[in-house]
Structures are given as structure tokens and as C-alpha cells.
Amino acid sequence: DAGVIQSPRHEVTEMGQEVTLRCKPISGHNSLFWYRQTMMRGLELLIYFNNNVPIDDSGMPEDRFSAKMPNASFSTLKIQPSEPRDSAVYFCASTLDGGHNNQPQHFGDGTRLSIL
């Protein structure tokens, strides 16, 4: 079975540029999560979708961050304009029913983002 697929695996870009991260959840999963992980702050939930609808975006740092889920098999996280403090590993995870059935979240391999 294919797991959660994220692209790109690595991204290095200059401050001010737009960055788009992509995620394909596991087929059949209807909940999708975007996380950011740094040494200082650990794993932080940015936003999560249930049935393609954003449910909780309280973790999105500021207006420079936006996320979309146009269909059940694709989501994007966009940063515009990017800043050096956005450098982190960004993970996408998916599960069934937002965890209400206590199914674990399955993580993609992450995107390692470096903003110079």
C-alpha cells in the first residue's frame, strides 16, 4: 500500500520566494494534517482537514501561510513570502475520521525546507 506521499523532499530557496509543499494522503483516509517540526518547538499542528474542509487552522503561524485541499487525494501548503524562520521539516499525515475511531495518524516522509 502506498503511504502518504509528500513532495518535494527537500527545498532550498531564498527569502521572499513562494514555497508550495504538496501531499497525497493514503487512499480512503478522510482526515489530513499539516505539521511543522523544529528542534526548538517540536511537532506543531498547523492545520487539519476533514472531508476536504479545513476544521482547525489555529496553528497556522500567520497570513503568509495558507493551505488547500481541493479534493480527497491532494493538499498543498503554501508560504508566501517565505522567511528564514520558516525553515523546518514539514510533515503531512492522514487518518480516518479525524481520529474519532482512534486510528493512528500516518506520516509522509516530510519536506525539509531551508529558507536562505
Partner 1 sequence: GQNIDQPTEMTATEGAIVQINCTYQTSGFNGLFWYQQHAGEAPTFLSYNVLDGLEEKGRFSSFLSRSKGYSYLLLKELQMKDSASYLCAVTDSNYQLIWGAGTKLIIKP
Q: CB under 8 A: which stretch of 18-26, 64-72, 74-82, 94-102 binds partner 1?
A: 94-102
Alpha-carbon distance 72 to 69, whole Å? Answer: 7
**Contact of 11 with 113, CB cutoff 8 Å:** yes
Q: Is 68 left (phi over 0), alpha (psi -120 to 50) or beta?
A: beta
**Min. distance of Cβ 63 from partner 1 in angstroms?**
23
> Which one of 7, 13, 22, 45 is in contact with partner 1 (CB under 8 A)?
45
Q: Detail the DSSP E strand segments found in the chain.
A: 5-7, 10-13, 19-24, 31-38, 42-50, 53-56, 65-71, 74-79, 88-95, 106-107, 111-115
Q: How far apart, in Å, do the first and last CA atoms of the chain sit?
A: 36
Q: Does 90 help bind partner 1 (rule: CB under 8 A)? A: no
Residue 82 or 105 with smaller CB distance to partner 1: 105
> Which one of 25, 105, 113, 115 is in contact with partner 1 (CB under 8 A)?
105
Q: Does 25 help bind partner 1 (rule: CB under 8 A)? A: no
Q: CB under 8 A: which stretch of 14-22, 42-50, 67-75, 80-88 binds partner 1?
A: 42-50
Residues lying near partner 1 in the complex (CB under 8 A) are found at: 42-43, 45, 56, 91, 98-100, 102, 104-110
